[in-house]
Every structure is written in structure tokens, then in C-alpha cells.
A and B are shown apart, each in its own frame.
Chain A
């Protein structure tokens, strides 16, 4: 860090050009915004943790929900979301390389790395749309959402069946699995009781804000809210990066004598990656 551009009096904020933070106004405000945004996500994820724990017996496991991979058949739990995580980390790397190129006033370098960051962000958004499509669409087999009523477990506990999701054991649709266990295995329903459950219940495919084929509807709600809120951040990040990218090509920052704007949008972009690291762990892994 050899030489630096001294701030002009218009962008400095009093105090005789001295900042106790050693940062410009814009950079500091970006940091403050990120703190408040981080707390919003902390709130989302804590609430998610609460309900996940509260309904732990009937909460779906993400590895049973997100099993698709483009152009591949069969079951690939975690694989696609791992790829998405890799893409976002990669775009964070290209972003920080763009910032580094900016410090050397290397316009070509900034253009290249920021361009790659844009592509990474766009691929991530596409992947998220694809993931949402599969979650909303659900499986062909579907599941039965049970109607009003009560079910007595082998140990004598009485459970309300309203809204409980029962999965088919296989494609023949001859037996339903309840989310409650008898010993180590889930309780299986067949025969007359099965028909009764089907008549009282409702066949559902996929998920929306009120129904969820894979388990508790709150799982769907949190999925849509958390990944949706994060996706909105990625989207606005891509838009902001694009605006800065155009400015880089036009030479705006070269004329200004520094690429601090790339640093500021870089902070935002890394934050988006940071949030995804937490979403990945708490939503998909735990």
C-alpha cells in the first residue's frame, strides 16, 4: 500500500480530512448497511432454527427435497446446491480480483474480473430459479395431506392429523408413511384405514406458501422467504455490478483516478456470498 490519493474536501466529511475509521464516507456507509442487513438475515435464520427445532419430528430433511441435478436422472442430494455454493464462492474470488486490479489502475483487469463476476451471479440466479421450479412443481407421486381427525400412536399418544403430510412408500400407492415412528420405523398405513385417510385428506404436489408436499408448510415458507430474500440481494448485486461494469468500460473510474466504487460494490457482493454460506449450512446441511 504505497501511495494514496488524498481525499478532496467535497467528499471528505469534516474533521480536517482525518477519519478515525480510515475509510471514506461511502465505504463506511456500505459497512453500516451490511450490518443492518446481516441482522435481518440473522433474524430469519434464528426464526427458522426455532421452528425447525419445534417441529423437528415432522420437519422435512432438505436432502430429501432438493435431489435434482440438471440433465441427470435419479437422486443427487446436496450436489446441485453444492455446485451453486461453489459458483458463488468463485464469483466472490473474481470480485476480489477485480478490486485488486483496480488498485493497480488496470482497467482491462477490472473489466475481465468484474465481467466474470457478473456471469457467476447470473448463473447462480438461474440455478435458484431452477431450484424453485422443482420445489414448487414437486414430484409426480405427490403426497397426502391428512384432514381433520386424530390418530393414536402405539404408545398411546394421541396426535392431531390435520395438515400432517403422509408420503407414499412407493409408486404403487398401496401404503402411506406417517411422520411418527413406532420404534425405529415410521408407522405405515394400509387397507381400509388408508382409504379413509385418502378420502379425508388431499393429494398435493409440490409446495407453495400454504401446502408442502415434503412436510411442514413452514419449511416451504422459510425456503421461499430466506432464499427469496437472498436471491433478491443477488439480483440487485448483479444489477449494481452491471452498472459499475459499464462505468469501468466507459473509463469513469480511470478518469477519477481510483476504483473505489468497485471496492464498495465488492463489499456488497461478498456479503451476499457470506449470507449464502449461512443459508447453505442452516437450510441445506442441518
Chain B
């Protein structure tokens, strides 16, 4: 189906994008850079997990570091490997907003109901 590209017809959407050899080279460079980032973060996490007791950092700090590094890793995977960074805004929002809302909702319940967990022991058993 051919389209005439006048001002009133929006662009047909890009389906199965093709790219040239040079663009491929650029893409591959990004892929390998991201690989080193992910490997680096994982190495830091494992090292920290093994040595934190010996270097005198508190468990709270270590835990928060783990969580921040994990979210950073998740960002790189979703943004670059799953290509979400280069999708249109509508798609980004449709994916991220519902997930974040529901995830926060779950965490909210775990944390607020967790306050009562001490009473669970006393009153239920």
C-alpha cells in the first residue's frame, strides 16, 4: 500500500527498521559499551557482597548501594538492549508508567502492612 507524503498524511510507522553497515558499527559499539557497564556493576556488587564486613561499612549503606546499582543495571538493559530509550514517547510512557505505579503500590502495601507484622505474632498465634 503506497502512501502520498503530503502534509495531511502522517508518516507510516517504521516497521522492521533496517540500517547500513556504518550505523551497524555504531550500534555494536553501544552494545559492547553497555556490556562493560553491566559487567562492571556486577563485579562491584559481588566484590562488595564479599568484603563489606571487612571494610567497616554498615549493612544499611551496603543494602542501599545494592538496590541503586540494580536499578542502574535495569535502566541500561531496558534503555539500550530493549531499545526503549529510542522508542516514541507514547510507547515509553505506556510501558513505564503503569509498571512503576503498580510496583510502588505493591511496595506501599508491603511497607505499611509490614508495620503490623509484630502484632501478627502476638495476636494470631
Binding site for B on A (CB under 8 A): 1-9, 16-24, 28, 31, 35, 38-39, 42-43, 46-47, 49-50, 53-54, 63, 77-78, 82, 85-86, 89-90, 92-93, 95-97, 100-101, 103-105, 257-260, 263, 266-267, 270-271, 273-274, 277-278, 280-281, 284-286
A38-B99 contact in complex given A92-B81, A97-B31, C-beta closer than 8 Å: yes
Residue of B66, B106, B113 touching A281 (CB-CB under 8 A)? B66
Q: Which of A1, A257, A285 meets B66, CB within 8 Å?
A: A285
- Cα A90 to Cα B32 in complex, Å, equals 10
A-B pairs, top 10 by smallest CB distance, nearest first, are A258-B16, A4-B14, A22-B88, A281-B70, A260-B16, A21-B91, A19-B13, A7-B15, A82-B46, A46-B110
Number of A-B contacts (CB under 8 A): 175
A28: B residues at CB distance < 8 A: 91
Q: Is the CB of A92 within 8 A of B70?
A: no
Does B61 sit within 8 A of A, measured CB to CB?
no
Other-chain contact of B15, A24, A86, A93, A97 (Cβ < 8 Å): A24
| A103→B67 CA distance, assembly (Å) | 35
Whether, in the assembled complex, B6 has its beta carbon less than 8 Å from a beta carbon of chain A, the answer is no
Residues of chain A within 8 A of B45, CB atoms compared: 280-281, 285
Q: How far is the CA of A8 from the CA of B13 in the complex (A)?
A: 11
Given contacts A6-B1, A103-B24, A281-B70, contact A21 B117 (CB under 8 A): no
Decide if B16 touches A5 in the complex (CB within 8 Å).
yes
Q: Majority SS of interface residues in chain A?
A: helix
B7 at the interface (CB under 8 A from A): no
CB-based contact A54/B117 at 8 Å: yes
Closest chain A residue, CB of each to CB of B69: A281
Q: How far is the CA of A278 from the CA of B12 in the complex (A)?
A: 38
Question: Which residues of chain A are within 8 angstroms of B70 by Cβ–Cβ distance?
Answer: 277-278, 280-281
- Known A-B contacts A42-B102, A281-B70, A286-B63; the reply to A96 vs B18 at CB < 8 A is no
Bound form: Cα–Cα A10–B69 in Å: 44
| Given A7-B12, A7-B13, A49-B110, A103 contacting B81 (CB threshold 8 A) | no
Is B90 an interface residue, CB under 8 A from the partner? yes
Q: Which of chain A's residues has its CB closest to B48's CB?
A: A285
Given contacts A5-B15, A21-B88, A105-B18, contact A50 B42 (CB under 8 A): no
Complex Cα gap A162–B38 (Å): 44
Whether A86 lies near B94 (C-beta < 8 A) is no
How far does the alpha carbon of A284 sit from the alpha carbon of B21 in the complex, in Å?
A: 41
Q: Is the Cβ of A286 less than 8 Å from the Cβ of B12?
A: no
Task: Choose among A31, A78, A104 the residue that contacts B95 (Cβ–Cβ < 8 A).
Answer: A31
Are B31 and A96 within 8 A (Cβ)? yes
Report 9 cross-chain contacts, Cβ distance below 8 Å, ordered by A residue.
A6-B3, A31-B91, A54-B117, A86-B42, A96-B31, A97-B28, A260-B15, A274-B82, A281-B45
Interfacial chain B residues near A21, Cβ < 8 Å: 13, 87-88, 90-91, 94
What are the interface flags for B26-54 relative to A under an 8 Å C-beta threshold, 1 for contact and 0 otherwise? 01100110010011001001100110000
Taking CB atoms, residues of chain A closer than 8 Å to B31 are 93, 96-97, 100
**A77-B16 contact given A42-B102, A103-B24, CB 8 Å threshold:** no
* Nearest-CB residue, chain A, relative to B114: A50
Residue of B nearest to A85 (CB): B42
Contact: A22 with B87, CB < 8 Å? yes
Interface check B56, CB cutoff 8 A:
no
Could you tell me the distance between the alpha carbons of A267 and B17 in the complex, rounded to whole angstroms? Answer: 15
Contact between B110 and A92, CB atoms less than 8 A apart: no
Q: Are B42's CB and A258's CB within 8 A?
A: no
